[in-house]
Amino acid sequence: MQSPCVGNCAGKTCGDDGCGGSCGTCASGQLCADNVETGLAKCAPYPQCNSLQPMCPGGCAVGQYCGSECKCVNETAELMDLVSR
C-alpha cells in the first residue's frame, strides 16, 4: 500500500521532506539550516571549532580573549557557573 503522504522539497536543498524522506544532504563542513521565516532549508557553512584549543579568526581585540566557542569574549564578561547545585 502506497503512503498518502507526498514529500515536498520545493526550495529546499537539504533536510526533511515532510513525509519521512530527505531533500538531500550537505557537504562536509556544512549543516542544514532551516529558515524560520520561510520554512526552507539550505546548506550553510559550519565553522569548525576545537573548544579545547580555540582559535578566533582575525584574533581578538585588546581586553578580549578567544573563548571555547572560538568567539572573542570581553575579559570582564560574566562567566557561567559550572558548579552543579
Whole-angstrom Cα distance, residue 57 to residue 48? Answer: 11
How many separate domains does the chain show? 2
For residues 35 and 1, membership in a common domain is answered with yes
19 and 41 part of one domain:
yes
> In terms of domains, do 38 and 63 share one?
no
For 85, the grid coordinates are: 547545585
* pTM of the complete model: 0.50
Are 5 and 17 in the same domain?
Answer: yes
pLDDT at 60: 93
C-alpha 14, offset from chain centre: 14
Query: 70 CB contacts (<8 Å, ≥6 apart)?
Result: 47, 49, 50, 51, 54, 55, 56, 57
Each residue's pLDDT expressed in tens, for the chain with a length of 85 residues: 666 898 899 989 999 898 989 999 999 888 898 887 777 889 988 878 888 888 888 899 999 999 888 889 999 888 766 665 5
| 41 and 53 assigned to the same domain | no
Whole domain around residue 33: which residue ranges? 1-46
